[in-house]
Amino acid sequence: MIAIEPPGRRERRRMQTLDHVAVTAMQLFESNGYTATTMEQIALQADVAKGTLYNHFSTKEAILAHWVHLELAADTERLRGLVAAAGRFEPRLKRLLDESAVWSERHRDYLLDYFRFRFLNIEDELAAGNPDHRPRDLAGLFALLIVQAQESGELRTDVSAEHLASLLHHMYFGALMRWLTLPGLNLRKEFAVVVDLFVHGAQEAADAPDAQDAARPPRRKRA
């Protein structure tokens, strides 16, 4: 395992500035509205020069993305405790997604802009990696849950935990996007479908073999 060196003083000061700007911007978004808030207002309220602000963030969407990642990093330890709690995989995954639903419902007005920024800058992200090592999604927590479920025999082990976590994250993101773009959907119900599909598959319950039948080899057809 490669050790991650702690950031130096200059990098710590830079990150403190980024965090301060992001928190200040979110306060303005909440009070004035996201669309009505300008970069100039953010610079003034955060007490940074406009040129300095643009050196760190090219757009409001970039500031918003930084704030979302800041929120996720702050909440990861609490969610990690939830993931580490004893119990079976399915109810623990459901609790994790219920927590995500609470946060997403509270910040729904910002999520489409956040995801749009992430998609438009995906190549830059891939090239730069994740220099501050803050979590940017739930994939890491999904992987922890899946590793535990594989060790307890609840989930298959012929596919790596990282691979399964990636597939689960795509399903999670798809549910979020359905909820954000289709009026009238309930996010918790959308996540419940994700849990059921991931754990049980899409096969009709009446047609799904039980565990004992699934373990038996298929019968050969008579000539």
Separation of alpha carbons 163 and 155, rounded Å: 13
Separation of alpha carbons 93 and 176, rounded Å: 16
* pLDDT of the chain, 223 residues: tens digit per residue: 445 555 678 888 888 999 999 999 999 999 999 999 999 999 999 999 999 999 999 999 999 999 999 998 888 878 888 888 889 999 999 999 999 999 999 999 999 999 999 888 877 665 655 566 565 678 889 999 999 999 999 999 999 999 999 999 999 999 999 999 999 999 999 999 999 999 999 887 655 555 445 444 444 444 4
First to last CA, the chain: 56
pTM of the model: 0.79
Structural domains of the chain sorted by starting position, each given as residue range(s) with its CATH number in brackets = 8-57 (1.10.10.60), 60-203 (1.10.357.10)
Separation of alpha carbons 17 and 102, rounded Å: 28
